[in-house]
Structure 1
Amino acid sequence: MSEHLLDHVRPFLDRSTETRIAYIQAPRWIGHQIAMQAHERLADLLARPPALRTRGLMLVGPYANGKTMIAERFAVEHLRTAVSQRVWVVQTREGAGLTHFYGSILQALRAPIGRSRDVGRKAEQIDHLLDSLKPRILIFDEFHNALRGRARDVEAVLAFLRRIGRQFDISPVLIGEVAVYDFINDTSEMASRFDLHAVPRWQYGEEFLTLLDSLEGALPLARASDLSDEPLARTIFQLSEGLIGEIVAIVSAAATAAARSGAERITKSELEQLRYIPVSKRRRAPARDGLL
């Protein structure tokens, strides 16, 4: 009866409903092809020989599509085997200007930030830390946040990316929406320094159906849901709009409801009862009108 589940998931069927729900709702890594290819490209940057003019990488795609998880998973796997940390993830702060950008880096490097808004002092502090820690890769998540300021500040951020390659042998990795791609390719000088790894929306096809099968095997429900069969698969695809974060959220919510109700499988009826609103339609959702 549990043949549809992965081996390590089957024991959860003997646990309480709340334990199973906690497992269903926990964040999970999905090693799909684009994610694994991204890891290979990041590994190549980590293993490259020293260079005076380093190349970087852009992970670009729509929101809620797994870009951050790809980067964080790679950083965690690196830490498990590394003698010293060579990969650091910077959560780029919201807000324009170099002060915010430098503050993001200092926070990521676990350095005291202080209240000073002296950009020059922060730059010197970052240089000292980079020289001491010797990172090989700096991953800037939500990098589009750094591109919303004045033109001179944006140019200073791009100049910083060029300089850390030359001065500290660091490969920058930029994660964000299409604005990142547009800014980097606005000049040939920057475009020549970054390769692109696209993380596009999923298309309805065999890879999407395989993804649903993988998700079904990872969720401890006693009965098979056959998520990859029509019309269930088509419904999930339409609700998610091809965003992997939404795909996982929809399937997890439906699995949680199935565990609580005792149905022990996801059906089209279960999905409809969620009344899940796709991201693109939430601004016009009836629930919004009730807030006015």
Structure 2
Amino acid sequence: MVTVAEVADPEDLSHLHEIARRVARLPAAERLRYVRADRWIGYTRASHALAELEELFAWPERQRMPNLLLIGATNNGKSMIIEKFRRSHPVVSHADREEFPVLVVQMPSDPQVARFYTALLTALGAPLRPGMKLPVLEQLALRLLRETGARILVIDELHNVLAGRGEARREFLNLLRFLGNELKIPLVGVGTREAYLAIRSDDQLENRFAPFVLPRWQADEEACSLLASFAASFPLRRPSPIATADMAEYLLARTEGTIGELASLLTETAIVAIESGEETINQRTLLMAAYAGPTERRRMFERELL
């Protein structure tokens, strides 16, 4: 029996980006490895976010530096944007020290100031002694941030601030003000809507952090353009007809409108497309993919608990 993929001209890969075109000529195992790897898929809102970050990076020092709050639903591209920005300003190694132009640190799940300073020092690769007191951690962190040339401090998972009790939450919000005043570098908070609520609870911080929202995706022209980019990035030997309004509506409904879930579904489908010989993302391979959306996953888990 001859499959549709066998009928297609294996040399006609004009539907793919150049890198994907080269990978598409490789054996299936290497193509699957490429499909499963992270990749940057650009889109308008992400480009605007990166432009805002670059503007902050180039900002001259002044008494009160501007800050940014990158807000979006879970799995909607925030971390990929920050990683793309960080990679564009990599660590620079010198004989006696390292420079961290962009330092990214994750807000601890238990928002205590000492734990945050410990996480910050760990991100800088600083040696830590057990039982270091808060004043020592603070002075060491400030000194190393200056010595390593940090120009932007990114705090990921900022919504974890709300996990703290009232006093701990106030202490950390005070810490944000202190770091901005002391270091005179921009701060970038990254998190869900709850991060905005935490910042908004402090009038001074609300005035210092400009919010930048990554909304859930809608089935519009921008979504179709995004789907076209995904289709061209997977090393499949046949075109994937997914950049249509109907397909955008179907895919976004299934993934609940976040780019992370969309990437997961399309990745699983590309894997099926290679393994089955279909070599395309279409209705058939989408139904074959081992993917369940967020709500469906929760329901499956809850059924297992009963």
Q: TM-score range by the shorter chain?
A: over 0.9
Q: C-alpha distance in 2, partners of 1:261/1:235?
A: 23
Gap regions ≥5 residues in structure 1 = none
CA deviation profile, 1:195-221 (whole Å, cap 9, x unmatched) = 111111111111001100000001011
Shift of 1:183: 1.4
Structure 2 residue 122 is the aligned partner of structure 1 residue 107: yes
Which residue does 1:187 correspond to in 2?
202
Shift of 1:117: 5.7
Which residue does 2:277 correspond to in 1?
262
Which residue does 1:3 correspond to in 2?
14
Which residue does 2:303 correspond to in 1?
289
CA deviation profile, 1:227-285 (whole Å, cap 9, x unmatched) = 12364333211111110001111011001001011111122122122253211232212
Which residue does 2:254 correspond to in 1?
239
Indicate if the aligned counterparts of 2:113 and 2:175 stay in contact, CA closer than 8 A. Answer: no
Which residue does 2:30 correspond to in 1?
19
Of 45, 64, 77, which aligns to 1:53? Answer: 64
- Count residues in correspondence: 291
Shift of 1:88: 0.6
Indicate if the aligned counterparts of 1:101 and 1:146 stay in contact, CA closer than 8 A. Answer: no
Give percent identity, aligned residues only. 32
Indicate if the aligned counterparts of 1:20 and 1:220 stay in contact, CA closer than 8 A. Answer: yes
CA deviation profile, 1:108-138 (whole Å, cap 9, x unmatched) = 1111233216222211221221232231210
TM-score (ref. length: structure 2): 0.89
Matched residue type, 2:16: L
Indicate if the aligned counterparts of 2:105 and 2:120 stay in contact, CA closer than 8 A. Answer: yes
Shift of 1:80: 7.6
Structure 2 CA distance for partners of 1:32 and 1:80, relative to 1, 3 Å: farther
SS in 2 for 1:192: helix
Two-structure CA RMSD over aligned residues (Å): 2.0
Q: C-alpha distance in 2, partners of 1:189/1:107?
A: 29
TM-score (ref. length: structure 1): 0.93
SS in 2 for 1:79: coil
Structure 2 CA distance for partners of 1:130 and 1:8, relative to 1, 3 Å: closer
Q: C-alpha distance in 2, partners of 1:121/1:68?
A: 31
SS in 2 for 1:160: helix
Shift of 1:82: 10
Please identify, of 235-244 and 223-232, the stretch whose mean Cα deviation from structure 2 is larger: 223-232
Structure 2 CA distance for partners of 1:230 and 1:196, relative to 1, 3 Å: closer
Matched residue type, 1:224: P
Of 179, 182, 189, which aligns to 1:174? Answer: 189
Q: C-alpha distance in 2, partners of 1:269/1:46?
A: 46
Structure 2 residue 139 is the aligned partner of structure 1 residue 124: yes
Q: C-alpha distance in 2, partners of 1:96/1:11?
A: 47
SS in 2 for 1:28: coil
Please identify, of 121-130 and 72-81, the stretch whose mean Cα deviation from structure 2 is larger: 72-81
Which residue does 1:226 correspond to in 2?
241
Q: C-alpha distance in 2, partners of 1:154/1:184?
A: 10
Q: C-alpha distance in 1, partners of 2:254/2:61?
A: 46
Please identify, of 268-277 and 74-83, the stretch whose mean Cα deviation from structure 2 is larger: 74-83
